[in-house]
Amino acid sequence: MHSPLALRITGLRKQFDGTPVLKGVDLELAAGEVHAIVGQNGAGKSTLMKIVNGLYQPDDGRIELFGNVAAFSSPRDARAAGIAMVYQDLSLVDSMSVAENMFMANWTESHFGLLDQRAMHQRAQALLEKMGIAGEISPDQPVDSLSMGQQQFLEIAKAIAQDARILILDEPTASLSNQEIIRLFAVIERLKAQGVAIIYITHYLHDIFKICDSVSVLRDGRCVRRARTDQIQIGALLADMLGRHADSSVQWQRPAPAGDAKPVLELRALTTDELDGVSLQVYPGQVIGLAGLLGSGRTEILNAIFGLSPIASGEILVNGQPVRIRSPRDAIDQGINLVPEDRREQGLVLDFSVADNLLMSSLRELASPVLLDEQRGNGIALDLIRRLQIKTSGPAQLVRYLSGGNQQKVVIGKCMGTAARILLLDDPTFGIDLAAKYEIMRIVNDYAAAGNAVVFVSSEYGEIASFCDATYIVNRGRITRHMQRHEQSEEQLLAAVQ
């Protein structure tokens, strides 16, 4: 490549509390290049990028920007040097407007030191137009009225608002719908054409081949491969990530429910503010998929079952008995548990230890009768950490310091640890690497095979098609179709949800 290097990292090291995370990473990025970074959960991808962005300081190593050595002591410094980063976990101020969020780092002020609202509005509008999303987001809209996907776009807009020359995207597609992903790719292409260098972190390896020019693989704190995407196969990438050969293709085996089995969970014409007469049945040993576009009502169905939204009419039956569920506590008492959509807001207490988070739903079982049975609790926590392969320094580590994917595993572990017989999973493998994803699917599979029931929401239709025994298609709060296992394929699901 003849263009000058936008970024060159050599021998970068970083440790946290004595645990090395980066052990001498080398990385190169040319201007106008889209470069993917892949690696397992906890490999150090986010940490590496937070160093480039000035949020963390390296222990050792060298960062060069356009040929000059750079040392940033804060994201503000990095910004000034032309680096912008969209974090894995969004960092918008919910109560403020789109425009205010965009220019948080550099307000437009008029002569008297007052904010120039008009100018900000205009600049925001121009930016949204440049990204091709002015039609659906307006500068004056409050951020909490945006969907997760729209917030992701806003983050990118915020990043390029200050003419970034290097843009870092940490798992940007994790919460996007298919259409939004396509639009994101278009935005990336446009920025690339303008000479912006882009670092793209993802667990969706297929996407890399669509929009990235090159890829680096991070494993055990080192960069173990750098390749052009047209010269490497997905299998080789996976093997590099894991450090060993990966086998592919798997059949999920579960015994068919007995002919006379009663549904473990049944909804009869369930109606809430956002649902309209939803009926479905889940038999023991089954995994039922809910497929639909973002905002179609998939999450709403799970929320209604879990007692999070008031039921206007219709009923929920557990083991054939009608039950009243008015709060998550009621649901858990009925043997139902939920892995919610948003791990940081709904799933975790970030300042709790891994063990405390894992046990948060099972405190009632652990109280014996007054004092908590710490030994048993610790045993359960250790077992979950091992089974889910949560990468942590131990059960006492604060969840705040786990990598994003490992935080997600803690949420899943919390729900698996209870005596629940019905598990509701809302995009449970969000942000989880391929190997861990398989592990989690296997655990869910075994769980169902033991006679439990699972309702599974995912935006990955391939995952639903291969994993679920039957799928309900959700559209505008209604069930529009019920597909049996043999009729569901990725293509058919994609067509059906529209």
Ligand X SMILES: Nc1ncnc2c1ncn2[C@@H]1O[C@H](COP(=O)(O)OP(=O)(O)OP(=O)(O)O)[C@@H](O)[C@H]1O
Which residues of the chain form contacts with other proteins (CB under 8 A)?
A: 17-19, 238, 242, 244, 246-250, 306, 327-329, 331-333, 338, 340, 345-352, 356, 359-361, 363-364, 366-367, 370-372, 374, 385-386, 389-394, 414, 434-435, 438-439, 441, 462-463, 466-467
What track of x and - describes contact with Mg ion for positions 85 through 124 (by CB under 5 A)? Answer: ---x------------------------------------
> Which of ligand X, other proteins, Mg ion, none has residue 402 at its interface (CB below 5 to 8 Å by kind)?
ligand X
> Which of other proteins, Mg ion, ligand X, none has residue 21 at its interface (CB below 5 to 8 Å by kind)?
ligand X
Could you tell me the smallest distance in angstroms from the CB atom of residue 415 to other proteins? Answer: 9
Contact call for residue 405 and ligand X (CB under 6 A): yes
Q: Are strands 214-219 and 34-38 parallel, antiparallel or unpaired?
A: parallel
Q: Are strands 470-475 and 478-484 parallel, antiparallel or unpaired?
A: antiparallel
Could you tell me the smallest distance in angstroms from the CB atom of residue 37 to ligand X? Answer: 8
Say if residues 200 and 172 touch (Cβ distance below 8 Å): yes
> Which of ligand X, other proteins, Mg ion, none has residue 340 at its interface (CB below 5 to 8 Å by kind)?
other proteins
> Which of Mg ion, ligand X, other proteins, none has residue 389 at its interface (CB below 5 to 8 Å by kind)?
other proteins
> Which of ligand X, other proteins, Mg ion, none has residue 43 at its interface (CB below 5 to 8 Å by kind)?
ligand X
Dihedral angle at the C-alpha atoms of 47, 48, 49, 55, nearest 10 degrees?
60
Q: Are strands 265-271 and 197-201 parallel, antiparallel or unpaired?
A: unpaired
Say if residues 20 and 14 touch (Cβ distance below 8 Å): yes
Which segment (35-43, 241-249, 368-376, 482-490) binds ligand X by CB under 6 A? 35-43
Nearer to other proteins, 208 or 441 (CB): 441
Could you tell me the smallest distance in angstroms from the CB atom of residue 234 to ligand X? Answer: 17
Nearer to other proteins, 68 or 249 (CB): 249
Planar angle of CA 285, 288, 290, nearest 5 degrees: 165
Nearer to Mg ion, 285 or 404 (CB): 404
Distance between CA atoms of residues 402 and 354, nearest Å: 9
Residue in 403, 429, 452, 488 binding ligand X, rule: CB under 6 A: 403
Q: Are strands 313-318 and 321-323 parallel, antiparallel or unpaired?
A: antiparallel
Say if residues 142 and 173 touch (Cβ distance below 8 Å): no
Residue in 34, 43, 92, 355 binding ligand X, rule: CB under 6 A: 43
Planar angle of CA 152, 154, 157, nearest 5 degrees: 115
Task: Provide the b/e sequence for 473-487 (b: ≥16 CB within 10 Å).
Answer: bbbebebeeebeeee
Could you tell me the smallest distance in angstroms from the CB atom of residue 457 to ligand X? Answer: 21
Say if residues 73 and 23 touch (Cβ distance below 8 Å): no
Residue in 16, 66, 185, 252 binding ligand X, rule: CB under 6 A: 16
Three-state helix/strand/coil letters over 68-114: EECCCCCHHHHHHCCEEEECCCCCCCCCCEHHHHHCCCCCCECCCCC
Contact call for residue 41 and ligand X (CB under 6 A): yes
Could you tell me the smallest distance in angstroms from the CB atom of residue 46 to Mg ion? Answer: 3
Backbone angles phi, psi at 224, to 5 degrees: -95, -10
> Which of ligand X, Mg ion, other proteins, none has residue 406 at its interface (CB below 5 to 8 Å by kind)?
ligand X
Nearer to other proteins, 260 or 345 (CB): 345
The DSSP symbol for 32 reads T
What's the order of all strands across the beta sheet hosting 265-271? Answer: 278-282, 265-271, 313-318, 321-323
Planar angle of CA 224, 85, 227, nearest 5 degrees: 25
Contact call for residue 46 and ligand X (CB under 6 A): yes
Which residues, numbered 81-120, are part of the site for ligand X (CB under 6 A)? 88
Question: Under 8 Å CB-to-CB from 374, ≥6 apart: which residues?
Answer: none
Contact call for residue 404 and Mg ion (CB under 5 A): yes
Nearer to other proteins, 89 or 463 (CB): 463
Alpha carbon 84 to its chain centroid, in Å, reads 20
- Binding site residues, ligand X, CB under 6 A: 16-17, 21, 39, 41-47, 88, 391, 401-406, 433
- Binding site residues, Mg ion, CB under 5 A: 46, 88, 403-404
